[in-house]
Structure 1
Amino acid sequence: MKFSENWLRQHVPTDATRERLAEVLTAIGLEVEDVAPLGEALDGVVVARIVSAERHPEADRLQVCQVDAGQGEPLQIVCGAPNARAGLVAPLATIGTRIGELTIKAAKLRGVESNGMLCSAKELGIDADASGLLELPGDAPVGAPLAGYLGLPDASIEIKLTPNRADCFSVRGIAFDVAAATGGEVTPFEASPVPAVIEAALPVELHAGADAPRYLGRVIEGVDAATPTPVWMAERLRRSGVRPVSLLVDVTQYVMLELGQPMHAFDRDLLHGPVGVRRARAGETLKLLDGRDVALDDEFLAITDADRVVALAGVMGGFDTRVTDATRNVFLESAHFAPAAIIGRSRRLGMHTDAAHRFERGVDPALPRAAIELATRLVLDAAGGQPGPVVEASLEAHLPQPQPIALRRARLARVLGLGVPDAEVARILRALGMEVSATDAGWRVLPPSRRFDIAIEEDLIEEVARIHGYDAIPTTLPGGASRIAVPSETRVGEDELRAQMVARGYFEAVNFAFVDQSLLQAWQADAGGVALANPLSAELGVMRTRLLPGLVAAAARNLARQQSRVRLFELGKVFDLAAQGEAPVETARLAAVIQGGAQAEQWGASARPADFHDLKGDLESLAACAGARLEFRPASAPHGHPGRSAEVVRVDGEGPVTLGWIGELHPRLVRSLDLEGTLLAFELDLEPLRRRSVPRAAALSRFPSVRRDLAFVAPEGVPWAALEASIRQAAGPLLAELRLFDRYVGKGVDPGFRSLATGLILQDNSRTLTESDVDVVVAAVIAALQQEHGARIRG
């Protein structure tokens, strides 16, 4: 927000210097980013009129001007400005005047005397325009000091506002904060109603419910729109970072900067009526003031004329009904739109407007009438005309109403750590425009309608703290004993998991928690996605439902930058909308992706590409941190390669728990992501993986173990995980370890079968096993394999 220092002082008279004013603004949370002094030391610069301008006899680019400076006889000035011409009114620095580092003296330019200097805005230090002389209105008083005529010296102050301080997007809003901080008072605002002198009016209708609960309109006929904008208004706009355009447009801009209420002016003769507000319909289009044609849908709020869309509510007006210098009858609009109906709409169209910036953060619903009365008065004073009545449509039930808040004296002292005198608390709150009444416990406070950010007691405490001064709050060390949190033995720490992944050669990636909807669709993972109401960009519009889409995209960026061996992991949360209307469910996940060589390039081992078993080994080492035993079962995830991916199941503890997925990405998905080669990945739910049993010490068995090797033939379609489960179940508690040490397919084995060789290591803690004990276990294993899977001992 940029504004004129003199404009602010008009609303809140204060003796504070410019430097002190900047300090106060920053101290109360309105951070000053820049203070640009304007028109300093202009003594000797006067308003002058060029009477005649003739070409210099010795220079084509110079003109010899006779200038009336109000001194009786004209002064001869040699000027090289391209816009110097007879009749032009411009600033004149007289002899002896100091402009910057230059002192004006009588001189001869190419043999012609010059008794002063006609100046540009940049030379005077009031603007950056150096293209020519500063052109003043034709009725400017010749001979008058320029500083007095333009309201100089002044300064352009720019402040940085937080999103919750929408009330400070106006000079008057800032004035309340300055008055509270400096002990001053805001001058009363005069917005007396302008009486109607004609009956001309356009009916107003509301069809958008809570999105547009208030709309005011007024017709003014007989306006001279070609009238130049008054100098004082144009200068205030310039010093606020707004270039004057035309009178009617400048009036709406001026009202917005002074009060904070965006407005719009329509050419009345281009409207038929009634004027309404409704949701746009799919397929409707509108040509905006900037000349662009935009397609609308029901997410946009539209201003209509007899159901024809003529403006985009809260964003920008339409080209076809704009005001021009030829406009004679104008329709002024002043309305209140709910922030939720405007947020993100301008960003969708790739634009940013001052009106949308304010409506998105919340505009005082009580402002529209004061704004339209002020705009009417400004138009009439500058361009004449006859005003009609103000027509208002209002849905009171949908207008935000401030609610009283109880502020407790004890709570204020406890939060701030000091006691602020009651009189000071009441003064601060009243200076900020609040209604304050004393109670036994403290105060009952009704915030003004412009303060959308004040809803609870802590908000009032914050207001007292920032105005009273954060530097007035004493610094004290916390007392009492601190509580030391002891890590749980039953859960593996996230740092431990990270360290394990790093030890296996992975790099940690941190991706945005929001992604492109089309990316999730490519992964067939868009179901349950949570759309953001106000995304940073169109590519970051949905909360992620999986970690892998973002992680694989990060791997792709590395591969595109000549990183031939990529190993990335990410530990983060995913979000899923469990049911319509319910809050999204957050789930902590761990994901990893690899491509390239199984080992880094070296001379000691032959190069080979990483495969499923390399990734599976990394995952099992991770599970070992929690003492977890995993099973891998066939999976049918849409992003996984059929037959080369698996479901990861934790089988120790209280029954099997599905952790996630591991495997090779589907070739079709890899191609759609514009990748090459084989990508392997896994993604697991974090919490079930972190669960760990409390370690219990146990003595090692003093008795010897017995090993029996079994080679059996099993169908190819039966996974090893199923065979392993049957063996462990049949062997019972005597099975200390099971090892798979050979797999064979070929001569001597029927097609569709494979030979597997396993080692059963049996041991008891209380005695030495006998031959008969071992035979019973082996027989039970053979019977289970044959009955459950059709496997047989290899002959």
Structure 2
Amino acid sequence: MRVPLSWLREYVDLPATETGRDVQTRLVSAGLEVEAVEQLGAGLKGPLVVGKVLTIEELEGFKKPIRFCTVDVGTANGTGEPQEIVCGARNFAVGDKVVVVLPGAVLPGDFAISARKTYGRTSHGMICSSDELDMGDDGTHGIIVLSPEHEVGSDAIALLELVDEVLDIAVTPDRGYCLSLRGIARETAIAYGLPLRDPALIDVPAPSASGYPAKVSDPMGCDRLTLRTVTGLNPEAQSPIWMRRRLQKAGMRPISLAVDITNYVMLEIGQPLHAYDRSRLEGPIGVRRAQPGERITTLDDTERALDPQDLVITDDRGPIGLAGVMGGAHTEIADGGTDGDSGEAHGTTDVVIEAAHFDAISIARTARRHKLSSEASKRFERGSDPQATAAAAQRTVDLLVLLGGGSAEAGVTEVIAPSAPHTISMPAGHPDRVAGVTYGRETVVRRLQEIGCDVYGQDELVVTVPSWRPDLDAPNDLAEEVIRLEGYENLPSTLPTPPAGRGLTERQRLHRRVGRALAGAGYVEALSYPFIGDAVLDQLGLPADDARRRTVKLVNPLSDEEPALRTTLLPGLLGALRRNDGRGSHDLALFETGPVFRPTGDETVPVRLPVDRRPT
């Protein structure tokens, strides 16, 4: 998760002197993995200004198209005269507002700008592209063409937000809420002891029967669905610079206004959304499991055969999206533009916004089954906030109305499967016993309330977990939250007292004697993964009734090609032998000692593995 510091300050009033490195230190202390702080615009020096193209002269006689332009940069050049610039790009015209770098400036990469003679003319500066300003992928790689309202000669460094710091955070699977500015801002606010402006705390209208029709056939797979409709969008409306820049800094490519807004809200609140072209929908939007033989073409133009376990979004014609993973190409938002013959604008004008909460395991398996990881699936499979769907849909509607000139329909569709808040009972002194530190009840309650929990009780606490923290499931999870917020560095280092015993067991001694004997004879110990597939058993030539063909299958294997636990050590050893021989090591001897797994027929899957002994 890439977090621009300028965006983070919108939700937490950090001291003006705090740098990205300072915030990194606080977040690392709170248990987040901040891998780097990127300095955007380091070394950038102006003048970099907004200019207006006055004339364009096409220069002939060169291998590629070259244009000699005059550009009005106001008084930024000290004379007020038009600036003469040679440029090879073709994606701008007379009257366009562009970004101009003048002599004396320095661009990213220590690229100094000066007047120079080229193609028989003298170029006093450059008309800039996003690549030259190191702005990230904008989908065009051409000259930056600004909207007409920007003033000629104004500072483009501030306009394009070129100077910023971006925190690159490696979000662990249990911290799905941190895949959003909302989540990172919450952790930052706690770390600094400052109030949080939660972007999800906005007024939302009550559900009504006049909203776009919906039908959820699998409430276990989708326990909450919100639909909103916006009509009359200007198909030529473009995303504003501030939105495009925030998306670019967060590592996403601007596409179109409607798509950019859904991506922006996803980054802001953590709730993935999808926008459908209403003119391409037929009938109610539904959520169900795929039927045998169904297929769908996703937004990446790939036709996919659906599995009956896939959760899909449908209309009357069938699947129109892989739920929580990727939408279908048939209902894709159409880009704006004008018809070449009539000059009329075309593109999507009416959209239906879908915000839903899907089962995390179902989405994870669908994404892996289709080898299709998306920004949406990364958030759903880690557990999104079911209570945020209405707020995210409202935020999307507000931005579409503000930036796209649309009108929000009054109807609001909400399909909700009843559920109770998750509560955990925990002794108030449990974090003290886990950490070996005396925190006290007041500290425990305060820390749990800071992360959004409601806490009741005295000696025995009843804790209601916030909807955005599905990872909090047991007293030890709550104890971990208290410990990390109080600081892992404050835990004392104490050596545990080993229990009295009689040394190694006879089996352990035999194990070590065998290893020493083989190593002394020139063998090298190899360690291999304990997973196999049926193909390797066929390669070993095992008969059909061989006991080693009876394997224990994993419910959630790392690889579909190796879904079972090994019943013999030979496949791993032969694989290691083959790899070493293929790399030129022809004189070697390998051995391995390790467990094999033979099914008994009465295996059961425990709800929670014990920690006081090794698994059977």
Separation in structure 2 between the aligned mates of residue 533 and residue 565 of structure 1, nearest angstrom: 39
Report the AA paired with residue 341 of structure 1.
S
Which one of 20, 34, 37 corresponds to residue 35 of structure 1?
37
The question of whether the paired residues in 1 share the 8 Å contact of 2:21 and 2:37 is answered with no
The question of whether the paired residues in 2 share the 8 Å contact of 1:406 and 1:444 is answered with yes
Query: How far 1:146 sits from its partner (Å)?
Result: 1.6
Change (3 A) 1:13 1:579: farther
Change (3 A) 1:482 1:132: same
Report the AA paired with residue 597 of structure 2.
F
Moved more, 423-432 or 367-376: 423-432
Q: Could you say which residue in structure 2 is the equivalent of 1:52?
A: 55
Higher relative contact order (CA 8 A, sep 6+): 2
- How do 1:480-629 and structure 2 match up within 5 A? 483-489=500-506, 493-502=510-519, 507-520=524-537, 523=542, 524=544, 529-555=551-577, 568-579=590-601, 582-583=604-605
The question of whether the paired residues in 1 share the 8 Å contact of 2:46 and 2:102 is answered with no
The question of whether the paired residues in 1 share the 8 Å contact of 2:288 and 2:312 is answered with yes
Q: Could you say which residue in structure 1 is the equivalent of 2:613?
A: none
Which one of 399, 405, 412 corresponds to residue 431 of structure 2?
412
Which one of 124, 133, 153 corresponds to residue 124 of structure 1?
133
Q: State how many pairs are aligned.
A: 578
Q: What's the secondary structure of 2:389's corresponding residue?
A: helix
Query: How far 1:208 sits from its partner (Å)?
Result: 1.8
Q: Could you say which residue in structure 2 is the equivalent of 1:609?
A: none
2:166 is the alignment partner of 1:156:
yes
Query: How far 1:493 sits from its partner (Å)?
Result: 3.1
Separation in structure 2 between the aligned mates of residue 115 and residue 308 of structure 1, nearest angstrom: 59
Q: Could you say which residue in structure 1 is the equivalent of 2:609?
A: none
Q: Could you say which residue in structure 2 is the equivalent of 1:371?
A: 392
Query: How far 1:246 sits from its partner (Å)?
Result: 1.2
2:188 is the alignment partner of 1:185:
no
Query: How far 1:236 sits from its partner (Å)?
Result: 0.8
TM-score by length of 2: 0.84
Q: Could you say which residue in structure 2 is the equivalent of 1:136?
A: 146
Change (3 A) 1:403 1:551: same
Which one of 295, 298, 323 corresponds to residue 313 of structure 1?
323
Moved more, 315-324 or 37-46: 37-46
Query: How far 1:492 sits from its partner (Å)?
Result: 5.2
Separation in structure 2 between the aligned mates of residue 106 and residue 567 of structure 1, nearest angstrom: 69
Change (3 A) 1:491 1:88: closer
2:358 is the alignment partner of 1:350:
no
Query: How far 1:20 sits from its partner (Å)?
Result: 0.3
Q: What's the secondary structure of 1:493's corresponding residue?
A: helix
The question of whether the paired residues in 1 share the 8 Å contact of 2:69 and 2:87 is answered with no
Separation in structure 1 between the aligned mates of residue 213 and residue 204 of structure 2, nearest angstrom: 19
TM-score by length of 1: 0.66
Query: How far 1:317 sits from its partner (Å)?
Result: 0.9
The question of whether the paired residues in 2 share the 8 Å contact of 1:200 and 1:219 is answered with no
- How do 1:75-154 and structure 2 match up within 5 A? 75-83=82-90, 85-94=93-102, 96-99=104-107, 101=110, 112=121, 114-127=123-136, 132-154=142-164
Query: How far 1:295 sits from its partner (Å)?
Result: 0.9
Separation in structure 2 between the aligned mates of residue 404 and residue 105 of structure 1, nearest angstrom: 67
Q: Could you say which residue in structure 1 is the equivalent of 2:349?
A: 328
Change (3 A) 1:279 1:575: farther
Separation in structure 1 between the aligned mates of residue 521 and residue 105 of structure 2, nearest angstrom: 77
**Identity percentage of aligned residues:** 33
Query: How far 1:322 sits from its partner (Å)?
Result: 1.3
Q: Could you say which residue in structure 2 is the equivalent of 1:464?
A: 482
The question of whether the paired residues in 2 share the 8 Å contact of 1:175 and 1:186 is answered with yes
- How do 1:373-772 and structure 2 match up within 5 A? 373-388=394-409, 389-397=411-419, 401-406=421-426, 408-409=428-429, 411-420=430-439, 424-437=443-456, 439-441=457-459, 443-475=461-493, 477-478=494-495, 483-489=500-506, 493-502=510-519, 507-520=524-537, 523=542, 524=544, 529-555=551-577, 568-579=590-601, 582-583=604-605
Report the AA paired with residue 583 of structure 1.
V
Separation in structure 2 between the aligned mates of residue 509 and residue 257 of structure 1, nearest angstrom: 45
2:20 is the alignment partner of 1:18:
yes
Q: Could you say which residue in structure 1 is the equivalent of 2:233?
A: 223
Moved more, 424-433 or 155-164: 424-433
Gaps of 5+ in 2: 336-346, 607-616
Larger strand proportion, structure 1 or 2?
Answer: 1
Change (3 A) 1:144 1:391: same
Separation in structure 2 between the aligned mates of residue 19 and residue 562 of structure 1, nearest angstrom: 47
1:461-508 deviations in whole A, cap 9, x for unaligned? 222222222223344x43757635422358753222333445666544
Moved more, 446-455 or 544-553: 544-553
Query: How far 1:430 sits from its partner (Å)?
Result: 2.8
Q: Could you say which residue in structure 2 is the equivalent of 1:277?
A: 287
The question of whether the paired residues in 1 share the 8 Å contact of 2:553 and 2:564 is answered with yes
Gaps of 5+ in 1: 585-795
Q: What's the secondary structure of 1:124's corresponding residue?
A: coil
Which one of 68, 72, 81 corresponds to residue 64 of structure 1?
68
The question of whether the paired residues in 2 share the 8 Å contact of 1:339 and 1:361 is answered with yes
Q: What's the secondary structure of 2:220's corresponding residue?
A: helix
1:27-48 deviations in whole A, cap 9, x for unaligned? 2222222322223555532221
Report the AA paired with residue 487 of structure 1.
L
Change (3 A) 1:108 1:445: same
- How do 1:163-312 and structure 2 match up within 5 A? 163-189=173-199, 190-193=201-204, 201-306=211-316, 308-312=318-322
The question of whether the paired residues in 2 share the 8 Å contact of 1:289 and 1:319 is answered with yes
The question of whether the paired residues in 2 share the 8 Å contact of 1:447 and 1:454 is answered with yes
The question of whether the paired residues in 1 share the 8 Å contact of 2:20 and 2:167 is answered with no
Query: How far 1:290 sits from its partner (Å)?
Result: 0.7
The question of whether the paired residues in 2 share the 8 Å contact of 1:271 and 1:321 is answered with yes
